[in-house]
Amino acid sequence: MVAVSPDYASRLRYAWRVVSVTSLGLILIGIAGSTLNVALPAVVRHFRAGPFESGWILLAFLLVSTASLVFFGRVADLLGRREIYLTGFALFTAASLLAGFAPDVWFLIAMRAVQAIGAAMILANGTVIITDAFPPDRLSQGMGVYIGTLSVAQLAGPTLGGLIAETAGWQWIFWVNVPAGVLALVWGAMTLRKMPRGPREPVDALGNALVFAALSAVLLALSEAGSRGPASPVVLTGAAIFVVLAPLIVVVERRASHPVLNMTLFTGRMLACANLASFCNALARSALILVVALYFQAARGADAFTAGLSVLPLPVGMGLASPIAGALGRRLSPYTLAIVGSAFSALGLGVLTLTADPATPYGLIGVGLFLAGCGSGTFLTGNTTQVMTALPSGSLGVVNGFRIMIMNVGFVLSVGLSLSLITSSVGPALRNQVYAATLSQLSPVAVDQLMTGFQRTYAVLFTVALLGTALSAFARTPKV
C-alpha cells in the first residue's frame, strides 16, 4: 500500500469539494439549455414567434456566451477567479427569474443574453479552478466527474423541459433555475478559496468587439440561409462582413499586446489539432438534442414530454462514459481516449443518418443516440485533460477561455446550421410550423419534405464528426 501524505490527502479533499461546486454550475447551465431545446415549440406557440425570433431564442445565448468567454477569462485573471465565478451564478439566476416574466419574445431574448454573460463567467473559470485544485495524477478523474455532470443535466433537462411545457407552463423552464442558482452561489461562496490573481494586463477590447461582430455576422447568415435562401441580401451581407472581419481579426490580434485570441499558444501541432477536434466534436454533437426533439414533435407528432424521454439515450451514454473514461485515464492516455470517443460519436451519427425516417423503429434511433453520447463523454474527458495539461500554467485563464470559446463557436454553428438545414427542405409558409411542432398535423407530403432536411442535417454532422476523429489522431503529443 502506498502511503499518502496529509497535505496530498487534504488537497484531494478540497479538490473534490471544488468539483461539487463547479459541477453545480455545469448542471445549472446544462439543464437551462436542454430544457429549452425540448420546450422551444411551446415557447414559440405562446409568443407566436416567427422563424427568425424562434431561432434567436436559442442563438442569442450561444452567441453572447461564446463571444465573452475569453473576455471573462482575462477579467478573472485580473479581478479574481472566485469572485468572477460567483458573480456568474448571481447573474444567471437573476436573468432566469426575469425571463419567466417576459412580456414579449424580444425581452425573453434579451434575458437569454444576460443569462449568457453569467454562463460565460462560470464556464470560463470552472475548468481552471478544477485544474488548480487537483494533483496532476488525479486530474483526469476530477475532469471525468465534472464533464459527466453535464450529462446529468442533459439527462434531467429534456424530460424536465417536456414535463414543464406540458403541465406547469413555459415560464417554469426558467424559474426552476432560480433555487439551483441560489444553492450554487451559497455553496460556492462557502467552499471556494481565493486564487492568486494574474498580472494586471489590459483587456483586448478591440479584439473582443471584432470577434463578437464576426460571430454575429456568420450566425445571422447561417440562421437566415434556411428561410430566405443562400442568395438573399441578408445572408450575403452577413457572409461578406465575416469574410472582411476574419483577416482583420488576425492582423489586430497579432499586434495586440494581450490579444483575446492568443495564436502563439496554439501554434504547436498537438494543441492546434486537439482544439480543432474539439470544435468539430462540438459542431457535430451540440444540436443533437434539439434536432431529435424537433424530429419527434414536428415529424412524428409526439408531445414535448414524449420527445424529452426519446432523447435520453444521448445523455445516458455521455453520463456513463465520462466517469469511466476518467477512471481509465490513469491507464490510457488522454490522446487515446479522445480518438476512441470521437470515433464512437461518428458511429452514432452514422446510425442516425441511415435511419432518418418517420417510420424508423425507436430502438435504432436510441442506439445511435447512445453511441453518440458515449463517444462525446469519452472524447470530452480525454481531449480536455490533454489540452489542459499541455498549457502554460501562467495563462490558464485566458487560454482556457479561448479553448471553451472554440467549442462554443461549434455550439453556435451547430444550432444555426442544423436549424437552417432542417427548414431548407420545406417551403417558406411551412417553416414556422416546424418550430411550433405542428407540421405533422398537415400532411404526409409535408413530413416527407421535412425528413429530407433531417437527413441532410445528420449527414453533415456525421461528416464533421469523421473530420474530428482524424484531427484527434493528429493531436499526438510530440516525444521529448
Alpha-carbon span 159 to 4, nearest angstrom: 43
What is the mean pLDDT of the segment spanning 383-393? 73
Q: Say if residues 162 and 306 touch (Cβ distance below 8 Å).
A: yes
**What confidence tens digit (pLDDT) does each residue in 150-184 have?**
666 766 777 777 788 778 888 888 998 899 899 99
What are the grid coordinates assigned to 262, written together? 492568443
pLDDT at 318: 82
Q: Say if residues 273 and 334 touch (Cβ distance below 8 Å).
A: no
Q: Say if residues 420 and 222 touch (Cβ distance below 8 Å).
A: yes
In the structure, what pLDDT confidence band is assigned to residue 359 with cuts at 50, 70 and 90? Answer: confident
pLDDT at 352: 92
pLDDT at 226: 59
pLDDT at 346: 94
What is the mean pLDDT of the segment spanning 371-389? 85
Most confident of 31-45, 72-86, 176-190, 410-424: 176-190
Give the predicted TM-score (pTM) of the model. 0.72
In the structure, what pLDDT confidence band is assigned to residue 227 with cuts at 50, 70 and 90? Answer: low
pLDDT at 438: 66
Give the CA count within 13 Å in the CB-facing half-sphere of 260. 25
**What confidence tens digit (pLDDT) does each residue in 186-206 have?**
998 988 887 766 566 667 778
Q: Is the pLDDT of residue 330 over 80?
A: no
In the structure, what pLDDT confidence band is assigned to residue 399 with cuts at 50, 70 and 90? Answer: low
Of residues 405 and 126, the one with the higher pLDDT is 126
CA 139 to chain centre: 22
What is the mean pLDDT of the segment spanning 306-328? 83
Q: Is the pLDDT of residue 13 over 90?
A: no
Q: Say if residues 440 and 301 touch (Cβ distance below 8 Å).
A: yes
Element (H, E) at 444: helix 444-474
Alpha-carbon span 28 to 183, nearest angstrom: 10
What is the mean pLDDT of the segment spanning 315-344? 84
Q: How far is CA 36 from CA 41, 152, 154, 158, 311, in A?
A: 9, 16, 11, 8, 13
Q: Which residues contact 411 (CB under 8 A, 6 or more apart)?
A: 62, 66, 282, 283, 286
In the structure, what pLDDT confidence band is assigned to residue 102 with cuts at 50, 70 and 90? Answer: very high
CA quadruple 7, 132, 88, 142: dihedral sign: negative
Averaged pLDDT score across all residues of the chain: 81
Among 59-73, 242-256, 389-403, 406-420, the range scoring the smallest mean pLDDT is 389-403
pLDDT at 480: 42
Among 154-158, 308-312, 317-321, 448-452, the range scoring the smallest mean pLDDT is 154-158
State the CB neighbour count (10 A cutoff) for residue 227. 20
**DSSP letters along 81-120, please?**
HHHHHHHHHHHHHHHHHHHTT-SSHHHHHHHHHHHHHHHH
Alpha-carbon span 392 to 473, nearest angstrom: 23
What is the mean pLDDT of the segment spanning 139-148? 76
Among 93-107, 326-340, 357-371, 431-445, the range scoring the smallest mean pLDDT is 431-445
Among 95-99, 181-185, 368-372, 421-425, the range scoring the smallest mean pLDDT is 421-425
Alpha-carbon span 110 to 175, nearest angstrom: 16
Alpha-carbon span 422 to 51, nearest angstrom: 12
Expressed in percent and rounded to 5, the helix, strand and coil fractions of the chain are: 80, 0, 20
In the structure, what pLDDT confidence band is assigned to residue 398 with cuts at 50, 70 and 90? Answer: low
What is the mean pLDDT of the segment spanning 104-124? 92
What is the mean pLDDT of the segment spanning 3-23? 79
**What confidence tens digit (pLDDT) does each residue in 72-99 have?**
877 887 788 888 999 999 999 999 999 9
